[in-house]
Amino acid sequence: MKVFSQSQEFNFPKHEGRDLQFKKGEFLFIEGEVEDGVFFISSGAVRIIKKKWVLWTANSQELIGISSFFSEGSKYSFSAKASDDCKIVKISHDEFQMMLEENQIFGKTIIEMMCNRIKYTNNRLRSVMTNTSRFRLINEIINKSRETKNQTIFYSLEELSELVGISKRLVRSMLAELEKKTLLSRSKNAIIINDLKGLEIIAMKENL
Amino acid sequence: MIMKRGKIDIPTCGECDNTEGILCNLTVQNKEVISERKGNNFYKKGQAIFYEGNHANGLFCIHDGRVKLSKLGEDGKEQIVRFAKAGDILGYRSLLSDEPYHATATAMEDCSICLVSKEKFNGLLETDAKLSVNVIQLLSRDLRGAEQLLIDITQKSVKERISESLIMLKRTFGLQEDNKTLDVVLTRAEIADMAATTTETTIRTLAQLSDEGLIELIGKKIVIKDFEGLQRIAGFSSY
């Protein structure tokens, strides 16, 4: 969910060290580090990872680090890793506190955003509790293909492992099985879908 | 001043004994605002306060008693989402996102619960920045809890999850006067619903923790003998 729409500009005070840039694969912060403010994504996308699993992907115009801002231990409860080249605005702890206390619209927007994130996480929880890991893996591949409108998708084993929440070994073995059935083929970090319908049928059977 | 409505005595929010809930931190003036026309109901142990999927028409604030919030999975199995005690509020996320109640709230013991209208709560949020910050804090706690559960279910063993559930119960309800016994009595099925496992596995795992000297089982009561040991098994981290 976008925090600020195009028409709703929010002016962050300018000062040195606020505007940051991260290359794809770089970490904004690591799980367990001392909380040092929240991060606004000006452009790019950031994966939120806990215990080697992607909890969600934050996109441009979103804020990250809010739940850690309020945590008692004052540490980040997850890692944030750039999944594209990113431009980030860092908002210090005190500044964020001030914005919440002084700007009611800002507070309302954050409430809405937090509600959406909880809903998304609970839906994933339901999916994990009711779907097999094979279904989740195939579903991730199908969804990525639909999203990019391309039969070739670019995922490393590590990325798929983080996104689906299963080990790399299991991802490798499941992909090999699907490759054997000629439903897909692999080349380095690319997965080429040969039979989308076939994948959908397997996913459907898994979910029965 | 005690407001009488039916057979139940209702203290005004300004005179309520609870001090730790987010409504307890309101200004005197705002406490008067929500006290006007607030409802109060008594619920017997086991009675539902609201059901998952019902239209959300108000904010519940526990005056006295304990409540469990649970969701039903697609397989019909109950999953306990969290517990709430005196001073805690219920149903806020549904009001904030204008959606039906996300979980079913059930009285774990006889409860007295106030009901603040949706309009009153939303109106206060518009004007009281401190309330707004406190609500975000609650939502942050809920989000961390949901994310932790997601990780636990996929990456932790049943023994780790049950140990973590016992730690959570100690944090939420505390210990009895002996400073060892959990100050809450849950059935084995309820502990299973917290840890997302079966009752049979929960019984076996609790017996195992007892054999290892970490806990002692006295009927339904659970005595914590080695809290640090439980934390080690649960892979508990401080953030």
Non-local (6+) Cβ contacts of B169 within 8 A are B83, B182, B184, B186, B222
Confidence band of A10 (pLDDT split at 50, 70, 90): low
DSSP string, chain A: --SS-TTS---PPP-TT-EEEE-TT-EEE-TTSBP--EEEEEES-EEEEETTEEEEEE-TT-EE-HHHHT-TT-B-SSEEEESS-EEEEEE-HHHHHHHHHH-HHHHHHHHHHHHHHHHHHHHHHHHHHHS-HHHHHHHHHHHHHHHHT-SEEE--HHHHHHHHTS-HHHHHHHHHHHHHTTSEEEETTEEEES-HHHHHHHHHHHT-
CA distance B131 to chain A (A): 10
pLDDT for res B8: 63
Contact A70 B140 (CB under 8 A): yes
Q: Are B189 and B200 a contacting pair, CB within 8 Å?
A: no
What is the spatial distance between Cα B69 and Cα B92, in angstroms, rounded to a whole number?
13
ipTM of the complex: 0.78
Residues of chain B contacting A111 with CB distance shorter than 8 Å: 96, 125, 132, 135-136, 139
Confidence of residue B239 (pLDDT cuts 50, 70, 90): very low
Contacts of A107 in chain B (CB under 8 A): 129, 132-133, 136
Instruction: Check pLDDT > 50 for residue A7.
Output: no
Collapsing DSSP to helix, strand or coil, B111 comes out as strand
Percent of chain A with pLDDT over 90: 39
Nearest residue, CB atoms, B144 vs list A67, A101, A115 = A67
Cβ within 8 Å, pair B129-A101: yes
The region of weakest confidence among A51-60, A121-130, B24-33, B122-131 is: A121-130
Question: In the predicted model, what is the mean pLDDT of residues A165-189?
Answer: 90
- C-alpha A47/C-alpha A83 separation (Å) is 6
Across all residues in chain A, what is the average pLDDT? 86
* Alpha carbon of B188: minimum distance to chain A alpha carbons (Å): 20
pLDDT, one tens digit per residue, over B16-41 is 888 888 888 888 898 888 888 788 89
Determine, for residues B139 and A107 on separate chains, whether the beta-carbon distance falls below 8 Å: no
Max Cα distance, chain B (Å): 55
B-chain residues near A116 (CB < 8 A):
97
> Of B159 and B8, which is predicted with more confidence?
B159
pTM: 0.79
Nearest to A50 among B137, B140, B147 (CB): B147
Measure the CA–CA gap between A193 and A36, rounded to whole angstroms.
Answer: 43
B104-107 and B48-50 beta bridge pairing = antiparallel
Residues from chain A contacting residue B136 (CB–CB below 8 Å): 66, 70, 100, 107, 110-111, 114
**A58-73 as b/e: b if 16+ CB within 10 A:** beebbbbbbbbbbbee
Q: Is the pLDDT of residue B125 over 70?
A: yes
Q: Kindly state the helix (H) or strand (E) to which residue B150 belongs, with its residue range.
A: helix B129-155
Question: Mean of the pLDDT values across residues B154-163?
Answer: 88
Mark yes or no for CB contact B129/A129 under 8 Å: no
Q: Would you state the structure tokens that stand for residue B15, as one six-digit string?
A: 């005179």
Strand, coil or helix: what is B108?
Answer: coil
Please tell me the predicted confidence (pLDDT) of residue A11: 59
Report the Cα A15 to chain-centroid distance in Å: 28
Nearest CA-CA distance, residue A155 and chain B, Å: 21
Say if B143 is an interface residue toward chain A (CB within 8 Å). yes
Over 70: is that where the pLDDT of B74 sits?
A: no
Q: Which of B125, B140, B239 sits opposite A66 (nearest CB)?
A: B140
B102/A70 Cβ within 8 A = no
Find chain B residues with C-beta within 8 A of A110's C-beta.
136
Residues 46 through 105 of chain B touching chain A, CB cutoff 8 Å: 71, 73-75, 79, 93, 96-97, 102
Q: Show the CA angle centred on residue A201, arms to residues A196 and A204, nearest 5°.
A: 125
Is the pLDDT confidence value at B140 over 80? yes
Disruptive mutation site among A29, A110, A129, A170 for chain B (greatest number of B CBs within 10 Å): A129
Q: Which residues of B touch A164 (CB under 8 A)?
A: none
Q: What is the 8-class DSSP label of residue B7?
A: T
Write the DSSP assignment of B155-199 as a string of letters. HS-HHHHHHHHHHHHHHHH-B-TTSSBBS----HHHHHHHHTS-H
Distance in Å, alpha carbon of B125 to nearest chain A alpha carbon = 8
pLDDT band at B166 (very low <50, low <70, confident <90, very high): very high
B135 contacts B22 by C-beta, under 8 angstroms: yes
Residue A55 with chain B: CB contacts under 8 Å: 147, 150
**pLDDT value at A205 more than 70:** yes
pLDDT value for A79: 94
**Strands A152-154, A184-187: parallel, antiparallel or unpaired by DSSP?**
unpaired
- Cross-chain Cβ contact B151/A53 below 8 Å: yes
Nearest Cα residue in chain A from B149? A125
Size of interface A-B (CB pairs under 8 A): 111
Assign A15 a pLDDT band (cuts: 50, 70, 90): low
| Model confidence band, residue A53 (pLDDT cutoffs 50, 70, 90) | confident
Calculate the average pLDDT of chain B: 88
Q: Which of A111, A123, A128, A137 to mutate to test the interface with B (most CBs of B within 10 A)?
A: A111
Predicted local confidence at residue B36, as pLDDT: 84
CB atoms within 10 A of CB B199: 14
Q: Is the pLDDT of residue B162 over 90?
A: yes
